[in-house]
Structure 1
């Protein structure tokens, strides 16, 4: 009887050993091939976007992105597109514009200054007031001066803020309303053939280095699109009405850093 008990106990132990061995082998198999019956997860295709400048399609991960616009290269980001907009500028379209006369392309850049309220950019962020003004959205109750200009319809192609931020309001292909009654070398109505650039300032304070750097970056972009551009201040084309950009705009610095030809600065390099 005792022998039979030993035999049964041995058979039971052998059974447990054999079962455990099979479980170990099964576990190793799963480690090498986990869930073999599960289909591999599909890889979702990457989204495609279109370059604002040349309209080529490319993966979103490869695009240069600025203000939710996409560009295929830095060259196209820092250029004027077919609609007359600079990719690296913030776009804030102004209604104060119209088409240029037929067969007229810009060949003059007019430099201005602007500050809203006047001279208060030191303590107040006037940039948004300027944007609102050019978009006819300025709150006339926000400052007494705004009541005086509430009915004016004004714009410029570009604004460069005190921090060097570049903002575009009007396509370079269209007229911005920046020059008013004006004359350049005997040619009237300068809005017809010019590009206006406003520098945030008041004519009584030096402009910031960041503004010159932004201007130096913008000028080659314009020159690449419009050949033989000439440059003047608002006071040069409307001397009886305007004084901007004023004595503190450094024309010598501007010419040296942009490498604009002296012949394209007909009013010279003297601050005025």
Structure 2
């Protein structure tokens, strides 16, 4: 069965975990970009609820080294795809999640305005699971039906001086073979 994104921007196949870290998109802006990220908390460890807690401002600053800084951040993504393929949704696609930070794509800055952020549970150091690709493709297919999405890129593409995710193990060809309409046109030189 196909996944659906409703008029309010919620995916029927995702577990809703509303985040306060979002706001309205600017008037007249269309969502036309998917940004793929990776995240693991603590770094390189999978499972648990640390990402959920980060995106809902409930992370314990004493839970792991470096969490004191994380506890002060106000960040989110629209979706988080776990290693087992389950999907959490923090922000409706109709709202602006705070996932891209300082970013530029095709001479447009502020990619949060026009994008949907999808975090994969992972790191730059390990391959992703087949079931994560399956979930990502199903989710992207649903997003294409709801929003005028034209491209899917990595966080590394919109913030190349500070981000490397989704990393060298992410198989873009797998996404672009299934959903060729998401393949970015080459950037002008």
Unaligned runs of 5+ in 2: none
Q: Is 1:88 equivalent to 2:13 in the alignment?
A: yes
**Match for 1:110 among 35, 46, 49?**
35
Q: Is 1:261 equivalent to 2:177 in the alignment?
A: no
- The answer to whether the 8 A contact 1:236-1:267 is kept is no
Shift of 1:164: 0.5
**Match for 1:154 among 75, 85, 89?**
75
Q: Which range is displaced more, 93-102 or 134-143?
A: 134-143
Shift of 1:185: 0.6
Cα distance change, pair 228–84 in 1 and its aligned pair in 2 (3 A): closer
TM-score by length of structure 2 reads 0.94
Q: Which range is displaced more, 223-232 or 195-204?
A: 223-232
- The answer to whether the 8 A contact 2:78-2:91 is kept is yes
Q: Which residue number corresponds to residue 172 of structure 1?
A: 93
Q: Which residue number corresponds to residue 122 of structure 2?
A: 201
Q: Which residue number corresponds to residue 211 of structure 1?
A: 132
Q: Is 1:141 equivalent to 2:62 in the alignment?
A: yes
TM-score by length of structure 1 reads 0.66
SS where residue 181 of structure 1 aligns?
coil
SS where residue 113 of structure 1 aligns?
strand
Relative contact order higher in (CA < 8 Å, ≥ 6 apart): 2
Shift of 1:259: 2.4
- The answer to whether the 8 A contact 1:157-1:170 is kept is yes
More helix by share: 1
* Aligned-partner Cα distance in 1 for 2:162–2:18: 27
**Number of equivalences:** 187
* Aligned-partner Cα distance in 1 for 2:7–2:45: 37
* Aligned-partner Cα distance in 2 for 1:250–1:188: 26
Unaligned runs of 5+ in 1: 1-73
Larger radius of gyration: 1
- The answer to whether the 8 A contact 1:255-1:261 is kept is yes
* Aligned-partner Cα distance in 1 for 2:12–2:27: 26
